[in-house]
A = this chain, B = another copy of it.
């Protein structure tokens, strides 16, 4: 504990970061971003207007949170990919799992990243963080094609399909719409099996790679 006595100094010292972390915490707790800036300020132990010294308005705070989210997601994908060694075919499912897990682990954050009300979307989406997510998928597909594991089709077509599928599954999962009685217990595996048949080449026996 290098934290000294928490005596209240006039200047907080690192309020910007504290606000972000507090907001992230509240979002996790309450599963939404309906929190008020005043509440964040209260929790951070500052006055109701202090946040305005760091963010011009609430949307700016949300935008910052969304960008952090994209960064975390990109890192999670890269990690999953590297865990799979160099094999694109083996990497795809773990990456898919990592993607969906990221979303379901923190639904509010994920939904915030994609089209929250009042957030300046162009800011968030044109960031390198956001573009990096799609690029990560494209990379794997590209390598898979080079190695002959995947069908030779326009990579961007496959990437679009993969990303859309992942985004869709994640969103529908978050919303609780993938009911077990309708889509089974493992919707990701189910969808993955189907799209994998559209991407991968069969092995010498014409069998598709195993999902598990």
A residues with CB within 8 A of B? 32-34, 111, 114-115, 117-118, 121-122, 125, 130-131, 134, 151, 153-154, 156-169, 171-172, 174-178, 182-184, 187, 190-199
Least CB distance, A137 to chain B, in whole angstroms? 11
Closest to A121 in B: B175
The winner among A168, A172, A190, A197 for most chain B CB atoms within 10 A is A168
* Contact between A190 and B160, CB atoms less than 8 A apart: yes
* Contact between B175 and A187, CB atoms less than 8 A apart: no
* Contact between A184 and B157, CB atoms less than 8 A apart: yes
Q: Which 3 A-B pairs have the closest CB atoms?
A: A198-B198, A168-B168, A164-B168
A125 to B176, CA, bound (A): 8
* Contact between B118 and A153, CB atoms less than 8 A apart: no
In the complex, chain B residues whose CB is within 8 Å of the CB of A33: 117
* Contact between B183 and A194, CB atoms less than 8 A apart: no
The winner among A32, A117, A134, A194 for most chain B CB atoms within 10 A is A194
Query: Which of B176, B182, B196 contacts A121 (CB under 8 A)?
Result: B176
